[in-house]
Amino acid sequence: MIDQKHYNFAFLDENSKREIRRSLLKAVAIPGYQVPFGSRELPIGRGWGTGGIQITLSVIGKEDVLKVIDQGSDDSVNAVNIKKFVSACTGVEITTDSEAASIIQTRHRIPEIPLKKEQILVLQVPTPEPLRIVEPREAVTKKMHAEGEYSPMWLTLYEDLLRCGKIGISAEYPVLVENRYIMNPSPIPRYDTPKLNDSDCLYLFGAGREKKIYAIPPHTRVMPLEFDDIPFETENFTGKRCHLCGAEGVYLDELTDEETGAKYYECSDTGYCAKRREQGCRP
């Protein structure tokens, strides 16, 4: 196992961290713009959140408190591995409480409780390029971003609406940042998309395999692509509640009782659910 005595604080050498921080600063300065960075090798396989981990390692300090979630859960294999690794090479305190964390690294979800201005949310991104679904060539998507030529993206949304009556994209719904760049918010559900707009916290996005970093600084305008007459819709959980804590109006995972075949629901944000139960909330 990695031991702090044998490695630099936060595993990466200081030069690497500085370089990643420079990319982060550039990303913050140009919200939604994908900044290339020299993705480092880590003792974790690419595709397991190495982009996010590198960001976390570059910004973390001894006083930080870290939370790591995967699909909303603090206990999934991926989240646990990342926590073990970062904790081993930094010694920082680990928490499951979104409000207590100064850095939250996540995949597929944004916590239920609105994040505050001192907090940083680090999102792991598999495919940073939002235009990939309409254009396979990197050189062309770069040019499209440079020129703000987003018609093909709008056209696919149009085709979806015309042919299917609705837009088929569920997670990873493309957003327009500060009226300039179309950005992939990473595979968060639609339910989380509005949280990106005008938030108090800082969002950092890292794609290790594709070597890209981007950011949404606090109070940035982030809007899902929507037609004037067809409002963006999020997942709707009306009439459903968590079978553990009774929460309503939150993002719920659907589960099936193996014996009865009945469907029941559970908070996707396990930290949120646990805290509610500690406070005595019941179904």
Question: Is 245 noted as a catalytic residue in this protein?
Answer: yes
Q: Which of 51, 89, 208, 273 is catalytic?
A: 273
Q: Which of 49, 52, 208, 245 is catalytic?
A: 245
Question: Is 201 noted as a catalytic residue in this protein?
Answer: no
Q: Which of 32, 49, 52, 72 is catalytic?
A: 32
Question: Is 281 noted as a catalytic residue in this protein?
Answer: no
CA distances, 119 to each of 101, 115, 194, 201 (Å): 7, 6, 18, 5
Residue 170 burial (C-beta neighbours within 10 Å; 0-12, 13-18, 19+): exposed
Q: Quick one: which H or E segment has residue 85?
A: helix 77-90
Question: Is 242 noted as a catalytic residue in this protein?
Answer: yes
Cβ neighbours for 175, distance < 8 A, ≥ 6 positions apart: 32, 182, 183, 185, 193, 196, 222, 223, 224, 225
Cβ neighbours for 210, distance < 8 A, ≥ 6 positions apart: 51, 125, 127, 128, 129
Q: Which of 49, 201, 267, 271 is catalytic?
A: 267
Q: Binding residues for other proteins, per CB under 8 A? A: 147, 149, 151, 154-155, 158-159, 161-163, 227-230
CB of 229 to other proteins, least distance (A): 5
Residue nearer to other proteins on the CB measure, 41 or 228: 228
CB of 151 to other proteins, least distance (A): 5
CB of 134 to other proteins, least distance (A): 11
CB of 186 to other proteins, least distance (A): 25
Catalytic residue numbers? 32, 242, 245, 267, 273
